[in-house]
Amino acid sequence: MNRTASVGVDVDSLRLYYRIHGLDDRSASNAAWRVGVARFEELFAELGIKATFFCVAEDLDLPGNTDRLRRLVAAGHEIGNHTWRHPYELTRQSPEIRRMEVGQGRFRLEAAAEAPVVGFRSPGYNTDAALQKDVLETGHRYDSSVFPCLPYYAAKAAILGLMRLRGRESRSMLGTPKVLMAPRAPYVCDRADPHVRGKDGLVQFPIAVFAGVPLIGTAFTALGERASAFVCDLAARASNHLTIEFHAADLLSLRDDGLDPALAVQPDLRAPLDRKRRTFRAALKAVQRHAQIVRLADLHVVPAAQ
């Protein structure tokens, strides 16, 4: 079996969910780190999976999070850089701020984790040539920000449009449609455009999309246990590599965890914890039947012959 897959968890704090939906984030708790991360650790331990946790460096200012980060490293997981403060509009920032978000994110995470941080994931999956250059020059070896998923892109465009009509400002941002034409398998990027193959850019691990279905936690929650396992089984058979993505909040539940009812705007938080756990377990087991799950940092990608 030489097919591989990798599993990433973006540790987005609940504060960011308030911001996406244009809500006041003052009552946000640390549950994504405190509860969500711990539940993913448990699930991965049960399945023998070593994953990549993409973390936001400023979250380390909250009590207990640095210990949680080190516990992940001690369990054999990889830490990836999800920026310093998770600005959704990273590609629209000034060059100085953009560089600081990428560089400080990596620097702080690496110092706290006491382990190498070589991977990057952009907030909201947006990237471009200037951001790629920053990611390369601040010591990263790979990026996993490209998400070539038409249903996701169309839904995001529609929601942001509706929110604008209702006078609500989301902090999220719609990136370039070029992402929809990007390769599906891991590739080496072109320096001038991270959405196309080249030979001297970053290694890119696009988030897996199979038959229009993104292999991400919220999609699994929407599909349920059997359909998620079915899609993952087919996808793993058909691909040399799958990059699967979760968010720490995917294993939180409004009802089971007594979260702020205002977060009901995020539909997957309404699903019961037990059902989500069973669904993710079934999806990951289906992948493991056909592919070996490895950390992104352990994968080697060679440029395509030119």
Residue numbers at the binding site for Zn ion (CB under 5 A)? 10, 12, 123
Whole-angstrom Cα distance, residue 200 to residue 298? 19
Which residue lies nearer to Zn ion by CB, 12 or 41? Answer: 12
The total of other beta-carbon atoms located within 10 Å of residue 71's CB is: 13
State the minimum distance, in angstroms, from the CB of residue 125 to Zn ion.
Answer: 9
Indicate the residue among 4 and 91 with the shorter CB distance to Zn ion. Answer: 91
- Pick 10 or 190: Cβ nearer Zn ion: 10
Measured CA to CA, the distance from residue 271 to residue 76 in angstroms comes to 30
Supply the DSSP symbol for 127: -
Complex with Zn ion: residue 12 or 59, whichever CB lies closer: 12
Is residue 217 within 8 Å of 247, Cβ to Cβ? yes
| Closest residue by Cα to residue 284 from 251, 254, 245 | 245
Nearer to Zn ion, 23 or 47 (CB): 23
Nearest approach, Cβ of 77 to Zn ion (angstroms)?
17
CB of 155 to Zn ion, least distance (A): 17
Cβ-contact 54, 80 below 8 angstroms: yes
CB-wise, 10 or 134, nearer to Zn ion? 10
DSSP for 234-278 reads HHHHH-SEEEEEEEGGGG--HHHHT--GGGGGSGGGGS-HHHHHH
CA angle, 296 then 297 then 299, to 5°: 70
Min dist. Cβ of residue 107 to Zn ion (A): 19
Q: In this chain, which residue has its C-beta nearest to Zn ion?
A: 12
Q: How far is CA 30 from CA 98, 132, 274, in A?
A: 26, 30, 21
Supply the minimum distance, in Å, between the C-beta of residue 10 and Zn ion.
4
CB of 123 to Zn ion, least distance (A): 5
